[in-house]
Amino acid sequence: MATKKNNTIKLKFDSARNLAPAPESKSAAKIDPQYDLFINGKFEKPSGKKYFPTINPATEEKLSMIAEANTADVNKAVVAARTAYDKTWKKMPAAERAKYIYRIARMIQERAREFAIIETLDGGKPIRESRDFDVPTAANHFFYYAGWADKLEYAFPNRRTEPLGVAGQIIPWNFPLLMAAWKIAPALACGNTVVLKPAENTSLTALKLAEIIQEADLPPGVVNIITGAGATGAAIVNHADVNKIAFTGSTEVGKIIQRAIAGTNKKATLELGGKAANIIFDDAPLDQAVEGVINGIFFNQGHVCCAGSRLYVQESVFKEVVRKLKDRLETLIVGDPMDKNTDIGAINSKAQLDIINKYIRIGQQEGAEMYQPSCAVPKKGFFCKPTIFTNVAQSNRIAQEEIFGPVLAIQSFRTDDEVIEKANNTPYGLSAGVWTDKGSKIFNLTTKLRAGVVWANTFNKFDPTSPFGGYKESGYGREGGLQGLSAYVNIIENR
Ligand code: ADP
C-alpha cells in the first residue's frame, strides 16, 4: 500500500509478504551417507579411517559423513598430482586440456539443479542464491578459463609461460563450489595439477565436483579433492612438493600460511577478510542504493568477504536512507533456505552464529543503536535477524572488525575527503561501493579507495573476466580474468 506523506511516497510493506511456501524439492539431489577422498581419479578411504559429520545448518540434521585426510593422505594426493603433472598434463597440447575443462563446465550446467540443492542443504544459503549465482558462475569460470588454455601467448604477449607444478588449494565455506571453480579452472588451464581441500563444514559440492571430474575422464591425479579441517590444510601448505598455495579464508589463517611458506619458493595467492565500505552520496538514486546495500550485506547472510558491512551515508540524506533501509528490512524473509521466497537463509554453523551474536552484543555495549525487523526466525537451525547499527563511532569494533554475518554499521559523512579517510581507515582493503549520479565522483573515489574492487552504483557483481583480490590484510594476488592466469604460471621474458 502506498501513502503520501510530505510529498514523498512511502511504501508500506507487509512484513510477512504473505507468500505461500515455495520449497525446492530435495529429490534431485543424491547425497551418499559417506564420502571418501578423491585421489588419483578414485574415491579412497582415509588412511586414518576417520570421518566427521556434515550437517544442514538450517535443520541441524546430519547430511553425510566426510573423510578426514591425514598427512599420509595429503602426501598420496600430492604424489598423484606430481605424477599426473610430469607424465600427462604438462605435456598435453593446450587445446586438449581445454576440452576437459569445457567438459567440466558443461557437466556442471547439466547437473546445476543438483549442485544448487546440495549447496543450500550443506551451507544454508538461500536456494535462489545457489541456483542463480553460485552454480552458474562456477560453470562460467570453467568456460572462461577453458578458452584461455591454448591462448596463453596472447595473454602474455612476447613472453613465454610455464606452469608452476602442483597447486595446493584451500577454500572456505561461504561459496564452496564457486571457490573450487575459481581455483581449479585457471590452474588447469595453465597446465598445473591440483590438490584441493574444501572447508570442513561444506565439503559436499566439492565432492560432487570430484564425481564430475571422474566422469569427465580427466587423467587420474590431475585434480585431487581431499577433505578435512585445518590440520589437513596445514599438511597441504607444508608439503615440500607443492609449488603454489591458493588460499581463501580468514586473515588469521592467511598469516599462518604466510609464515609457513616464508623462505620456501612456493608461490601464493591469499584472499582474506574484508570490511567493505558502501558509500551513498546525496545525489545517488536512493532506492537503488538501498537495494544494493541490502544485497551487499544481507542476501548472503553477510557470509561474503567482500560484504558491504560498513555503510557511509551523506548527512543530508542520512535519515531518509536509514528509514528506507528499515522499511526494506521489514520485508525480508528469514528462514528455510530451500524456500524460493527466502532472502536470508541459515548461518553456516553454530560457531559462526555465536561470533555474530557476540558482535551484536559488543555493538550494543559500545553504545551503538541497534535495529532488527520484527520478522520471526525458525527455532531450530542457526538463524540471525538482519541487524543494523546507527550511532556508530569509527573506532567501534563493529566498524573495524570483520563479523561475517548480516550486521551493518552505519555512519554519516559530509565531504568526499572525509568519507575516503573513513572508508580507508581499516586494516582491510578487499572491496567498496560508491553510489552517486556523478561520474567525476566515481572516478575520484575509485582512485583513492584502497580496495581491490570498487563497485559503482552496484554491489557484489562478479564475472569470470574481472579480477578480484585485496590490499593490506585482505591478502594479495588476483583471481579471475587475465590476472587470474598469472597466478598459475612462471613468466619467462624473451630476451
Ligand atoms: P573461516 O573463518 O572462513 O572458517 P578459515 O580461515 O578458518 O576461515 O578456513 C578457511 C579454510 O582454511 C578451511 O578450508 C579450513 O579448513 C582451512 N584452514 C584452517 N586452518 C588452517 C591452517 N592452519 N592451514 C591451512 N588451512 C587451514
pLDDT tens digits for range 148-188: 999 999 999 989 999 999 999 999 999 999 999 999 999 99
Catalytic: which of 200, 271, 402, 479?
Answer: 271
The per-residue pLDDT for range 117-144, each reduced to its tens digit, is: 999 999 999 999 999 999 999 999 999 9
* Phi-psi group of 158: left, alpha or beta (phi > 0 → left; psi -120 to 50 → alpha; rest → beta): left
Q: How far apart are CA 212 and CA 223, in angstroms?
A: 11
271 catalytic, yes or no?
Answer: yes
Q: Count the Cβ atoms, other than its own, within 10 Å of residue 316.
A: 12
**Which of helix, strand or coil describes residue 165?**
coil
**Ligand 1 near 234 CB (within 6 A):** yes
Q: What percent of the chain has pLDDT over 70?
A: 96
Q: What is the pTM for the complete model shown?
A: 0.94
- Confidence bin at 21 (pLDDT 50/70/90): confident
Structure confidence at residue 5 (pLDDT): 47
Q: Give me the amino acid identity at 7.
A: N
- Distance set, CA 395 to CA 275, 398, 422, 462 (Å): 13, 8, 10, 31
CA atoms within a 13 Å half-sphere pointing along the CA-CB vector of 245: 31
- Confidence bin at 3 (pLDDT 50/70/90): very low
From the CA of 319, how far away is ligand 1's center (Å)? Answer: 40
Protein residue closest via CA to atom 24 of ligand 1: 234
291 catalytic, yes or no?
Answer: no
**Ligand 1 near 249 CB (within 6 A):** yes
Nearest atom in ligand 1 to the alpha carbon of residue 237 is 25
Domains located in the chain, CATH noted: 34-272+474-493 (3.40.605.10), 277-464 (3.40.309.10)
What phi and psi, each to the nearest 5 degrees, are found at residue 84? -60, -35
